[in-house]
Amino acid sequence: MLVNQFLLLGAVLFAIGVYGVIARKNAVLVLMSIELILNAVNMNLIAFALRNGGDAAGHTFALYIIAVAAAEVGVGLALVLLVYRNRRSIALDELSEMKG
Amino acid sequence: MLASSGLVAQNIAFGIVALMMVVGALRVVTSKNVVHAALWLVLVLAGAAAQYIILSAEFVAVTQVLVYIGAVTVLFLFGTMLTRAQLGKAKDLNNKNWALGIPVALLVLGTLVYVLIDTFGDDKVVDNPGDVPNVPVQAISDSIFKPYLLPFWALSFVLLAALVGAIVLARKD
């Protein structure tokens, strides 16, 4: 097992997630793309943990990232729900009040 | 690459699961149906759990299944249900200038691939195929509650704030 095969898989997932964040209009789909990006990061952390002789610190921070991602999805979907309730739409390109 | 680096079975498993994950991720960002995108995301998350098991991180893999597949996917499906009347196909899931995402993503991917290959080249995860290190759960808990206790506390406050914030945002006054 090369360490690069896991890192390159993480890079591919990261790039796909970046594409999804830019291309998608639906806010729920943008949140899903952010999950792809966070998973790519976790893959790197676990690969490096094994490369450093089974370092438990890598696993610890992967677990922390999983917890932060869960919190982020909870707050993100609450925000999406609020936007939907106020505007009956979650299309992100219609939220332009902050444009001068 | 397969024969030279040892651990042939692990490499074959990696290839199959990695292909599955990339196809699933592409379907997440191209699917015309939000529910289908959520279900393709489950495939990617399950593939990530399988990769963690290949990398001998069993506890992280189990947590991935519990938290991501068990909880986050259900949250996504609930979010879809509560924010959209129709669950079928939708035409307007992409931005007007969605094509701008392709060069940006390719640029990110190209940079990452170049840097990774330049830096790590043919480095192996384990030098000797015989001694893949085992990380016991006890070592992870020691790591969480001894050197990384402060981030653990911070994380507890983040979760508390997220819980309270989600309730405050989502409740009807």
Provide the shortest C-alpha distance from residue B101 to chain A (in Å).
Answer: 5
**Least CB-CB distance to A39: which of B45, B55, B112?**
B45
* Cα A26 from chain centroid (whole Å): 15
Q: B74 and chain A: CB distance < 8 Å anywhere?
A: no
Q: B87 and chain A: CB distance < 8 Å anywhere?
A: no
**Least CB-CB distance to B37: which of A29, A67, A72?**
A29
Look at A93 and B130; give whichever has higher pLDDT: A93
Mean pLDDT of the A29-38 span = 94
Q: A60 and chain B: CB distance < 8 Å anywhere?
A: yes
Look at B161 and B87; give whichever has higher pLDDT: B161
- What pLDDT is stored for residue B88 in this prediction? 60
Mean of the per-residue pLDDT values for chain B? 88
Res. B127 pLDDT band, cuts 50 70 90: confident
Q: A67 and chain B: CB distance < 8 Å anywhere?
A: yes
- What pLDDT is stored for residue A98 in this prediction? 76
Look at A99 and B61; give whichever has higher pLDDT: B61
Res. B87 pLDDT band, cuts 50 70 90: low
Query: A81 vs B170: CB contact, 8 Å cut-off?
Result: yes
Q: A41 and chain B: CB distance < 8 Å anywhere?
A: no
Contacts of residue B37 in chain A, CB cutoff 8 Å?
Answer: 29, 32
Look at A94 and A21; give whichever has higher pLDDT: A21
Q: What is the pLDDT of residues A73-93, one digit of tens each?
A: 999 999 988 888 888 878 887
- What pLDDT is stored for residue A66 in this prediction? 95
Q: What is the pLDDT of residues B131-161, one digit of tens each?
A: 778 888 999 999 999 999 999 999 999 999 9
Contacts of residue B142 in chain A, CB cutoff 8 Å?
Answer: 56
Q: A70 and chain B: CB distance < 8 Å anywhere?
A: yes
Res. A48 pLDDT band, cuts 50 70 90: very high
- What pLDDT is stored for residue B86 in this prediction? 55
> Percentage of chain B surpassing pLDDT 90?
62
Query: B124 vs A17: CB contact, 8 Å cut-off?
Result: no
Query: B126 vs A50: CB contact, 8 Å cut-off?
Result: yes
